[in-house]
Every structure is written in C-alpha cells, then in structure tokens.
Amino acid sequence: MIHTLEWTDSGVRFIDQTKLPTEETYVTCKTYEQVADAIRNMVVRGAPAIGVAAAMGIALGVKTSKADSGAELKLEFDRMCDAMAKTRPTAVNLFWAIRRMQDKFEYLRTRPIVQTKQALVEEAQRMHAEDIAANQAMGRHGATLMPAQGGVLTHCNAGALATCGYGTALGVIRAAVEQGKRIHVYADETRPFLQGSRLTAWELMKDGIPTTVISDNMAGAMMKQGKIGVIVVGADRIAANGDVANKIGTYTVAVLAKENGIPFYVAAPFSTIDLETADGSKIPIEQRNPREVTHIAGKAMAPEGVQVENPAFDVTPAKYVAAIITERGITRAPYEDSLRKLAEATATVSR
C-alpha cells in the first residue's frame, strides 16, 4: 500500500515524490502554506492527488486557525483557498476540490466554529476515500479495454502516486492484472520530471507488474515494432468536447498511436472533466522553471543561457481519444454529447 498523502493528527503527510525512487521519505506539512508549497514544488503531483492535497491543506488551515468569529474564519478561509488556487493552473481537480470545500464552508456558515472545523476535516478525508473508490471503479470499467496479454504503454505517472491510491491509468492496469491479464507495462520516462522512470516504474515494481522503462522518444519505435497493444494515460483536465490536457508528451503518444492503429485511452475521475471549458485551446498550460530541462541531478545538461521551453502539459485533441474511462463508466466520441449525458445521468445519483 502506497501512502501518497494522508491526514494525520500532526498535519498532512506526503511521500516526497521529488526523492523517489532512491529515497522513500515522508514530509508532514503543519500549515496550509506548507501544503501549497508541496503542491507547487511537486512533492505531491498528479491531478487527483493535487485536488485532495489542496482540500486537506484548507482543512488543516481551518483546523489550526485562531479565528474566534465566523467572519474572521471566513476571511482566513478565503485566503487559504486563494493560496491553493495559485499553486498550479492546469489540473482542474485542484479547482474542483477548492470549490467543494467552499460549498461545504458556505453550507456550514451558521454553525459554531468548532463544528465547521470538524466538518471540513471530515470533508477532506471523505474526498480521500472517494478518490480511491473512484479509481477502483475506473479500474473495473477500464480493465475490459485491456488486452488479455501484451504491452501497454503509459506516459507520466497516473498511478497510486498521482492519486490517493490505486491510480487512474495504473488503476486500470492493476485491475486488469488482478483479473489475470498478463500485461507488460512500457513506461515512458517522461522528461523533464521523469515521473515515468522514477514513479511509475517504482510503484509497478512494488506490485510485481512487469515494467520496461524507455526514453520518451523510444515509444514510437516500440509501437512500430508491435510491442504495444494499448495505451492508457491519465488527464489533468478534459474539456467539454473531449480534448485532454495531460503531461507534456501525451499528444505525441496519441499521434503515434493513431499512426500505428493502437487504441489510446484516457482514465480520469469525473472531477477531471471540465464542462465549463469548451475545448482544449481554453485550458491554461503551466510553464515551469527552465532549470527542470537544463539541469538533471544538479548538473548542467545544456549550455548556460540557452533558451528553453518547459510547458508542463499539452492538449490531445478528442479525435485521438478512443475512449475516456471514468468511475461512472466508459464514454466514447462524440464527447460533447457523451460527457454531458454522463454528467446529467449521474447528477442525481449519490457518489
């Protein structure tokens, strides 16, 4: 069992993902500002994990608040939500989680502060549990799309480490393996942060799932050689038309999949679907520090002063996506209809 993030009596505890796979260390954030820093610095990353981390950060801030009136607590709460919202712009789960905490806070407005604190802590813990349950449901649905045997390529880390446990894309793979499917995972190393080689390989090896690490630019050759039967990745935001923002390089994988006749699947909780964003062109793409590209393990890998681009995400147009796997089921094109119907059909159903 991997404990990506946990609520503890002394604060929010994270496995430090910047240190894996060579060091398995944990950090406990004792203030909401520390949680915001952990998100910004990718101690915790992955859209679903970021969402729950933000909720827990807000719960932590509220719990430790010295405010002695509802109005004062509201001021502090707004500041906490703002701080979380500014950490990373692309993963919509972050904003979904903040909104959910805001709704809860609003609902509790007239209660005594002590009750509000308790209820927000419980809400964050509920989101943690729901996330794992959603991943397991996603796994059950998605496993039907996995081959009985053979290579499955994934990009970045959409695993237990990107969520509260089990994973989205890796949850689908785990569920398929649990059903007896003989899957060999090809993990793109995923430059510049190397989530694939550092994180995906680490968590799959823990589970004994056969894994081969490749440089990102080897994925095309593996597909062309027939080593990859299916591709499954996660998502940071899915627009209403089915365009998918995910880790930089996902678009490339999708184009290669199309060219080689390989189905390209996206697994993500419903909270990743952003029906208010019409298409991928409207999704804000985070640019990160050039140093992530120019330096590895502290060593310069490019001449000093060279220009760098470092977009953390790209957008894969819906036309490349064979299906989107959510905890509510599998949806297919045309996504404008199917995603809306999925939202409507389940809006009245309790999660």
314 is catalytic: no
User: Cα separation of 31 and 51, whole Å?
Assistant: 17
Size (the chain), residues: 351
Which candidate in 236, 243, 274, 314 is catalytic? 236
Q: Tell me which residues in 241-260 interact with its own copies (CB under 8 A).
A: 248-249, 251-252, 255-256, 258-259
The two three-digit tokens of residue 91, written as one number: 């993963």
Compute φ and ψ for 229, nearest 5 degrees: -95, -30
Contact at 8 Å (CB) between 14 and 4? yes
Q: Is 309 a binder of its own copies (CB under 8 A)?
A: yes
The two three-digit tokens of residue 344, written as one number: 């409507």
AA letter at 200: T
User: Cα separation of 126 and 110, whole Å?
Assistant: 22
Compute φ and ψ for 237, nearest 5 degrees: -165, 135
Q: Is 307 a binder of its own copies (CB under 8 A)?
A: yes
Q: Which of 85, 296, 333, 343 binds its own copies (CB under 8 A)?
A: 296
Segment interacting with its own copies, rule: CB under 8 A, options 71-79, 99-107, 162-170, 192-200: 192-200
Residues 6 or more apart whose Cβ sits within 8 Å of residue 221: none
For residues 47 to 86, the per-residue mask of contacts with its own copies, x marking binding by CB under 8 A and - elsewhere, is ----------------------------------------
Which is closer to its own copies, CB of 101 or CB of 315? 315
Q: Is 220 a binder of its own copies (CB under 8 A)?
A: yes
Active-site residue list: 236
- Residues of this chain that interact with its own copies (CB under 8 A) are 21-22, 155, 188-192, 194, 197-198, 201-202, 205, 210-222, 224, 248-249, 251-252, 255-256, 258-259, 293-294, 296-303, 305-311, 314-315
